[in-house]
Amino acid sequence: MSAGAEGQFLRTKTVGKLTMIATLSAVAFVVKMLVDRDRKEVARLHERLGLPDRSVEFQEGFDRWRVEWYENRVYIFRNGVLYSR
Q: Per residue in 15-59, pLDDT tens? A: 999 999 999 999 999 999 999 999 999 999 999 999 999 999 999
What is the per-residue pLDDT for 6? 66
Angstrom distance (rounded) from CA 31 to CA 47: 24
For the entire predicted model, the pTM comes to 0.66
pLDDT band at 2 (very low <50, low <70, confident <90, very high): low
Q: Is the pLDDT of residue 3 over 70?
A: no
Q: Domain range holding 54?
A: 3-84
CA angle 20, 26, 78 (to 5 degrees): 115
What is the per-residue pLDDT for 5? 63
When divided into structural domains, the chain yields a total of 1
